[in-house]
Amino acid sequence: MLFGKQRKTVAVSSAPGKEQRVPFTASGRASAPFALARGTNVDSIYQDAVGYLWVGGGGCGIDRFDERKRRFKHYHHNLNDPNSLISDNVYTIHGDRDGHIWVGGQYGISRFDPAKDGFTNYVPVPSDPASLLNWIWTIYHDRSGMLWLGTFGGALIRFDDKADRFVTYAPDSRDLHKLNGGGITSIHKDRTGTLWVGGFDGLYRFDRRSGAFTRYTETQGLPSSTIRCILEDKIGRLWLSTQKGISRFDAGTETFRNYDVSDGLQSNEFSDGCYEGQDGEMFFGGSNGFNAFFPDNIRDNPYVPPVVITGFTIFNKPVPIGAKSALRKAIPYIDSLTLPYRDNDFSFEFAALSYANSQKNRYRYRLEGFDPGWNETGSKRRLATYTNLDAHKYVFACRDQTVMAYGMKKACHCPFSSRRRGG
């Protein structure tokens, strides 16, 4: 099923050649029998099993469209009616496996009851109705029947509607094992049972047994910490739309492969919408249209470029090649270096020898014998600088982190020693 706006219509299609268009004026008022609510700002669309189309948005409540009768019915919040919608600010509409329709809004969630043509409302934090923890942005129904709610206030909420019980995992930026506090935009449970949470501050892996969260951001390889939507392919990889392109995440190796406009994306900026078709095709909506692809067809370039040291400077000056120089031949061809004590400020420059999307290359480097771990850098600064080293034997190593993400590597190594004064 495809939804979209064309001029002043909402286009609905369930099969090729069977498109229905619902016209409305720019003000949201139209000739009967078509009438979207005044000021409709569509944030969510859902079609239920009966065929009704539910349209919700900020400030307009919900419109239900009966395609057969070609009529709308409006549902709004009414202070004097406890069975009315919990809020006219609707952010998400979700249908669960039991056929229930859930509406996430500003002050909690509403479940539609067809028998009374009204709603049953639930407030996660009833003691503080205005709390941002009650602003429900996304709803996910897992295979066990549990509802998971993502809030504007950055909390993840587990809701058992049969027991009418909420469990809230509140954010705490001081605790590395809790959510950081950014609004939650997407929730997904993968085939192993692991729950993944996407928000404005990263991707989270949730361990239900310990209640701990593991956070992934740009530091771990994401192009942006703003996660818009999460889908899973048939081999268990996560595909994430972000504010800086799409990222493919392998949970087993905890590595990311990032794609941007240079790979054919409509834009680097994506919205909250995504969808997986029955044939496995993925759709991600963005600021300049949408991208559709089959994950199996997205293959990496099998060529593994060598990584070499391309430059060497001492006190920010290129080192000449000569018999009395530290470099007896060009830096890519030397086997080792020996530096006197006075040359205690030097830099290595390095590069992967490939021009294919070279601006996307990321590197790791370290000085074995000095650096406790690998340092990471991008293509704009392929430079490693060291100062005031003790006399010792070292090995400078660098490798293409982008290539490492594919499970392969070609690295550079340069053994050298720093001599003591008078040595």
335 and 262, same domain (yes or no): no
273 and 219, same domain (yes or no): yes
Question: By the 8 A CB rule, do 243 and 286 touch?
Answer: no
Pairing label, strands 2-6, 147-151: unpaired
The tally of domains found in the chain comes to 2
pLDDT (tens place) for every residue of the chain, 423 residues total: 334 443 334 444 333 344 444 444 333 443 334 566 665 677 888 889 888 999 988 888 999 999 888 888 999 999 999 999 999 999 999 998 888 999 999 999 999 999 889 999 999 988 888 788 899 999 999 988 899 999 999 999 999 988 889 999 999 999 999 999 999 999 999 999 999 999 999 999 999 999 999 999 999 999 999 999 999 999 999 999 999 999 999 999 999 999 999 888 999 999 888 989 889 999 998 888 889 999 999 987 767 778 889 999 999 999 999 988 888 889 888 888 888 888 889 999 999 887 766 777 778 899 999 999 999 888 888 999 999 888 889 999 988 766 444 333 455 667 777 665 544
Distance of alpha carbon 60 from alpha carbon 135, whole angstroms: 16
How many other CB atoms are found less than 10 A from the CB of residue 237?
17
123 and 207, same domain (yes or no): yes
Q: Which of 297, 323, 338 is the last residue of a domain?
A: 297
Structure tokens at 205: 């892996």
Structure tokens at 312: 């060497």
State residue 356's pLDDT score.
Answer: 66
344 and 388, same domain (yes or no): yes
Pairing label, strands 337-339, 411-418: parallel
CA atoms 34, 38, 42, 48: torsion sign = negative
380 and 414, same domain (yes or no): yes
289 and 404, same domain (yes or no): no
249 and 364, same domain (yes or no): no
Helix ranges restricted to H, 97-227: none
Give the per-residue SS3 of 51-70. Answer: CCEEEEECCCEEEEEECCCC
76 and 145, same domain (yes or no): yes
Distance of alpha carbon 241 from alpha carbon 267, whole angstroms: 11
Question: What letter would DSSP give residue 404?
Answer: H
What is the distance of C-alpha 153 from the center of its chain? 18
Q: What is the CATH number of the domain that holds 115?
A: 2.130.10.10
Distance of alpha carbon 20 from alpha carbon 65, whole angstroms: 12
Positions of E strands within 306-391: 307-314, 317-318, 337-339, 345-352, 362-368, 375-378, 383-387
State the residue range of the domain holding 124. 2-297
pLDDT digits (tens, 9 = 90+) for 308-356: 899 999 999 999 999 888 888 898 888 888 888 888 899 999 998 877 6
